[in-house]
């Protein structure tokens, strides 16, 4: 049978989650989606009304099918927010198991503040929504993942290099996510034969990135300075994720894979 993927963090057709879903669907996977509760209604309505039909088209001309959309809140305070354990339990009841888990979400309420100006609340909220959310998601899904399965998250180079403007503890959150990728690769690998990797993606004009406020500048900077002087498409990240989730990557775990036109390798811009 084909593989089944759960992708957390899709609320429109502009982000990395959508592109990853498409690449996995093109490779034959069944697609389940977790959508943030406040965005759920509009996402499902738009899907139903055909608003995304153009961007659902796969390379073979067919349309990507999303089998089911689950409400998900990665920072739950109450049961109505639908935390990860509730979502994993519903997926288990509906489908039994999955093979691929994708975490494509982040949130930092003070992202536009310098780290020096960030409050304890803002810092911890960024870590909670962007880093612990992955630990929790994997923790609750690992028991229903088939051995040999794979898990992928999305990170950003601000974790290891200074990117002014990526504030509010979001750089710290990505550093935690990358470190956790290694420890989780060990634990999930030994215990369940699950691989755990993260993709350090270049800049994309997603809804979340537009909210940060400097995305056009980052895209221009990359086009000017990266070894490959082209705009990065979400599809290129989607394809890398499909590779990491496939048996072609069966010995790859605990890694940060750069999908950024090579910008990470530059020391100075020229
Ligand atoms: P996006 O807006 O498509 O995705 C972010 C998603 O997170 C949204 O669907 C949003 O609803 C969801 N979300 C936010 N808070 C949530 C919560 N508490 N619970 C559940 N869901 C929540 O934007 P994107 O840029 O594609 O982001 C996906 C991932 O890619 C993120 O981890 C982001 O940091 C990473 N990334 C993005 C870029 C970029 O330039 N866009 C670069 C590198 C890494």
String of b and e for 228-247 (b: at least 16 CB within 10 Å)? eeeebebbbbbbbbbebbee
158, 174 contact by CB (below 8 A): yes
Global ipTM: 0.99
Instruction: Identify whether 123 is a catalytic site residue.
Output: no
H or E stretch including 147?
A: strand 145-155
Q: Which of 16, 166, 221, 258 is catalytic?
A: 166
Q: Report CA Rg, the chain.
A: 18
| pLDDT (tens digit per residue) in 147-189 | 999 999 999 999 999 999 999 999 999 999 999 999 999 999 9
- 166 carries an active-site annotation: yes
Instruction: Please state the pTM of the whole predicted model.
Output: 0.97
Distance 155 CA to ligand 1 centre (A): 10
pLDDT tens track for 58-79: 999 999 999 999 999 999 766 6
């Amino acid at each position: 049978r084909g593989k089944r993927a759960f992708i957390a963090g899709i609320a429109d057709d502009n982000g990395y989650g959508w592109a990853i879903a498409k690449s996995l669907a093109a490779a034959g996977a069944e697609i389940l989606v977790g959508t943030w509760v406040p965005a759920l209604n509009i996402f499902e309505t738009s899907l139903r009304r055909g608003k995304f039909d153009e961007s659902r088209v796969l390379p073979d001309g067919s349309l990507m099918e999303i089998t089911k959309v689950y409400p998900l809140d990665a920072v739950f305070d109450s049961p109505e927010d639908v935390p990860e354990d509730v979502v994993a339990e519903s997926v288990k009841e509906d489908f039994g198991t999955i093979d691929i888990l994708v975490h494509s979400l982040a949130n930092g309420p003070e992202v536009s503040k310098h780290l020096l100006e960030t409050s304890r609340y803002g810092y911890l909220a960024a870590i909670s929504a962007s880093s612990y959310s992955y630990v929790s998601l994997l923790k609750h899904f690992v028991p229903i993942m088939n051995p040999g399965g794979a898990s992928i998250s999305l990170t950003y180079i601000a974790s290891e290099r200074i990117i002014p403007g990526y504030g509010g503890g979001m750089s710290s959150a990505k550093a935690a996510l990358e470190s956790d990728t290694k420890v989780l690769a060990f634990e999930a690998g030994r215990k369940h034969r699950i691989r755990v990797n993260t993709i350090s993606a270049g800049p994309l004009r997603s809804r979340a990135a537009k909210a940060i406020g400097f995305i056009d500048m980052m895209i221009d900077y990359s086009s000017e300075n990266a070894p490959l002087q082209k705009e990065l498409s979400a599809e290129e990240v989607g394809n890398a994720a499909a590779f990491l989730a496939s048996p072609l990557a069966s010995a790859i775990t605990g890694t940060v894979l750069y999908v950024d036109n090579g910008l990470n390798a530059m020391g100075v811009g020229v």
